[in-house]
Amino acid sequence: PVEPGKNGEGLFESELRGCPNTLLTPHVGGSTEEAQAKIGEEVAAALLKCVNEGSTHGAVNFPEVDMKIDVSRRTHRVLIIHMNKPGVMAGINKVFMEAKANVCQQFLNTK
């Protein structure tokens, strides 16, 4: 693959982009087999923590959120990626209101 330019110049091109069940990570400079194995373990652990606990700690493109685990398993985390335009959050909250859903925590981060 060809490395992307800095600050969003050019895209990362690879035949792996768009493949189902494929996770691409940023280049982190792991040149030894041991370093590559450690990076794989860290990525897998972060992904599992995100899926199982809703944690985005260490994320680059999302607010860093570590949510308390609900042992009753009756709560859900909803991650919504949207355009930063007026009225979008109001529309999202309206959907929750109409469903009579209780929102315990809400985080918004704009860049």
Residue owning tokens 């979008």: 88
Query: Could you tell me which of 24, 23, 19 has the C-alpha nearest to residue 4?
Result: 24
Residue 27 annotated as catalytic: yes
Q: What residue type is 65 in one-letter code?
A: V
Question: Rounded to an integer, what distance in angstroms lies between the CA atom of residue 53 and that of residue 68?
Answer: 8
Catalytic residue among 15, 27, 34, 82: 27
Residue 53 annotated as catalytic: no
Neighbours of 56 (CB within 10 A): 21
Catalytic residue among 3, 9, 15, 34: 3
Annotated catalytic residues are 3, 27
